[in-house]
Amino acid sequence: MNLQENIRIGTRGSPLALAQAEEVKASLLAAHAHLADDNVSIVVIATMGDQIQSKPLKEFGGKGLFTKEIEEALLAGDINMAVHSMKDVPTDLPKGLGIVCLLPREDPRDGFLSPIANSLAELPHGAVIGSSSLRRVAQVRHVRPDLQVVNFRGNVNTRMRKLSEGVAQATFLACAGLNRLGLSERITAPVPVDVMLPAVAQAVIGIETRLDDAATIALLTPLHHEETAHCVAAERALLAALDGSCRTPIAALAELQGDRLMLRAQILREDGSESLETRREGPVADAAAMGRDAGDELRGRAGPDFFAST
């Protein structure tokens, strides 16, 4: 790549997406002293998922709604790289594209936000929870079936505004997103992963490129975080084995302890009436295999009708 040319980073236009793209830009500039600020630009691309605000995403096709238009720009050569929240990235990528770089994982936990309670357990009977996440809704309904749930779409600021307006008494936002936006003080309390296991690859920024673009891949190589990659490999292998999407309540978290990887996984019925969980532990080199094995186990235990809408 001619370093005088503009390196174009494609991203969604939400405040969090822009903050993540700026983090990638800053990391590139820090890793490559020969790059100047004006060598790297951020290109905002509107996605269908951003335009649909009134209805649940599951009605429109799931996770690809946040990546399709950006990937089209990547394939067309309009951008050199795409920055994604990995929890939004489908397991099957378009031919010729690949996630070639993962930044170090932020706090993977969900954040509990409420003006009236310090935790999910402390919410009064019948309180209203706002969330657009099938996973979070199913988890809430599993542990607190007495609570009411309303759909909460929109970016971080929109959801916090709805909370302050009293549309709901509590909501959940990823700790990582609030941290990246400098809004960590808005978190009433992080939710322990034993209470609410996070989404697959939550808190991980992934960078997608054309697989034949060796120059861009070389620029990103110093940014890649291998430990995060092992964890994401396990979690996304689980997701692929379960054929997961935004229409499927699936949770998982892989963590490293030395050269050992620990994986926890959970699937739930949409109404929260049933939860199945499993764990794996093994060598880091077996991360993807452990994820696939855990996914196969859960799929077998669940049976064909487990993920049917209720």
Active-site residue list: 88
Burial of 117 (0-12, 13-18, 19+ CB in 10 A): middle
What's the rounded Cα separation, in Å, for the pair 11 and 226? 23
Dihedral sign for Cα atoms in the order 60, 65, 71, 73: positive
Please say whether the beta carbons of 23 and 9 come within 8 A: no
**Residue 67 phi, psi dihedral angles, 5° rounding:** -130, -25
Instruction: Assess contact for 216 and 102: CB atoms under 8 A.
Output: no
CA distance 45 to 148: 35
- At a CB cut-off of 8 Å and minimum separation 6, what does 149 contact? 128, 129, 130, 131, 137, 140, 141
HEC profile of 225-267: CHHHHHHHHHHHHHHHHCCCCCCCCEEEEEEEECCEEEEEEEE
Q: What are the beta bridge partners of residue 43?
A: 10
Question: What are the DSSP calls for 78-130, one per residue?
Answer: S-SEEEEEGGGS-SSPPTTEEEEEEPPP---SEEEE-SS-SSGGGSPTT-EEE
Tokens of 14: 């939400």
